[in-house]
Amino acid sequence: MFNGFEPVFDKNSKVLILGSFPSVKSRENGFYYGNKQNRFWKMLSTIFNEKIEDDITCKKQFLLNHGIALYDVVEKSNLLGSADNTLEKSDFKVADFNSIFKKANNIEKVLCNGKTAYNIFINNYANNLPVICLPSTSSANPRFDILLWKKELKFLLK
């Protein structure tokens, strides 16, 4: 079994972004969206009009500075590759979201980075927050649309 990453959040987090499970490249690099081809960090940089250094500490600080909590819906999996379509067929353990929602009780909504994250979350966790499925930031997704992400994150823009 492979372990995912620890969640990034604090008491000021206003939105929780959920991915599915770290890709092979992310696991090699030790942090979320570590594949340079993934659009996640470039998208946030564009939306917030701010450069994000390619350093884990800087990325964590960027997220916290903008009220963003980040986690994956799967905490552990035996997934060998990176494809989400095989994740749901693998053995996996769903992440525990209760501690995040208890400590970060200002979270107003959950944004799921793709259908797999959305499906696993809504099938395994009930809450009263809006849960929105957004197009995956994966470079393999031809339907990625930054405008949909911007619409959901605009309330964080200062």
| DSSP secondary structure string for all residues of 122-137 | HHH---SS-EEEE---
Provide the pLDDT confidence category of residue 92 given band limits of 50, 70 and 90: confident
79 pLDDT more than 80: no
Mean pLDDT value across the chain: 91
Provide the pLDDT confidence category of residue 84 given band limits of 50, 70 and 90: low
Question: Which residues in 4-157 belong to E strands, given as ranges?
Answer: 15-19, 68-72, 74-77, 92-94, 109-113, 131-134
Please say whether the dihedral angle defined by the alpha carbons of residues 25, 92, 43 and 56, taken in this order, is positive or negative: negative
31 pLDDT more than 80: yes
Query: What's the pLDDT score for residue 149?
Result: 98
Gap between the Cα atoms of 33 and 21, Å rounded: 10
Provide the pLDDT confidence category of residue 89 given band limits of 50, 70 and 90: low
Where do the domains of the chain lie, and which CATH numbers do they carry? 2-156 (3.40.470.10)
Q: How far is CA 66 from CA 3, 31, 115, in A?
A: 26, 18, 24
